[in-house]
Amino acid sequence: MDGLWVCRVLTKEVRAALVDVVSDGLEDITRRCGRLIHHDFKGKVQYMQELLRGHLPPFETLLAQNQGGRFIVGSQISFADYRLLDFLLNHQVLIPGRLDTLPLLSAYVARLSARPKLQAFLASPGHTNCPFSSALKI
């Protein structure tokens, strides 16, 4: 996603392509983090912090380029927003404070989490009683 630029006016096709780029980027990072979660070695969380330090700023850049960060792509919420929110919420559990240096991502998480239906889901027993990862004992 480095060097990715966003047009001021997105066509339907460009918007769909950018949603795919964001989703694929998240998939790559999720796979790398997933491998770490399921392998037991000292320094796992520190290694993940370093990994995320290099991979989260492009998402911050996309938010900055997209109308000040309301959504990751375009003017409407997309599945890429839900994937990014899930990823960021999970990593806030693993690495509290990780978004402190990324103000647009931090505000993005707060804003999307406050949407009424998402807020209700995040507070529901179906979400709060679900273990994060048995490998991490979280």
Domain with residue 26: its CATH number is: 1.20.1050.10
pLDDT in tens, 69-101: 789 998 889 999 999 999 899 888 877 887 888
Task: Give the total number of structural domains in the chain.
Answer: 1
Q: Can you list the pairs that 2-10 forms with residues at least 24 positions away whose Cβ atoms lie under 8 Å? A: 2/58, 4/58, 4/61, 4/62, 5/65, 6/62, 6/65, 6/66, 6/73, 10/73, 10/74
Does 138 map to a domain? Answer: no
* 96/114: higher pLDDT: 114
**Could you tell me the pLDDT band of residue 137, with boundaries at 50, 70 and 90?**
very low
Look at the pTM and tell me if it is higher than 0.85. no
pLDDT value at residue 117: 93
Q: Is residue 2 part of a domain?
A: no
pLDDT exceeds 60 at position 104:
yes
Residue that wins the pLDDT comparison between 10 and 82:
82
Residue 118 in domain: yes
**Predicted local distance difference test score (pLDDT) of residue 131:** 64
Domain holding 40, by residue range, is 12-128
In this predicted structure, the answer to whether residue 120 has a pLDDT above a threshold of 80 is yes
**pLDDT band for position 66 (50/70/90)?**
confident
Candidates 92, 86, 91, 72; CA nearest to 122 is 86
134 pLDDT above the threshold of 70: no
Tell whether 1 is covered by a domain: no
End-to-end CA distance of the chain: 30
- Whether residue 135 is contained in a domain is answered as no
Write down the pLDDT at residue 93.
Answer: 80
Q: Examine residue 4 and state whether it is found in any structural domain, yes or no.
A: no
pLDDT score for 30: 81
* Within-domain flag for 7: no
Q: What is the pLDDT of residue 2?
A: 47
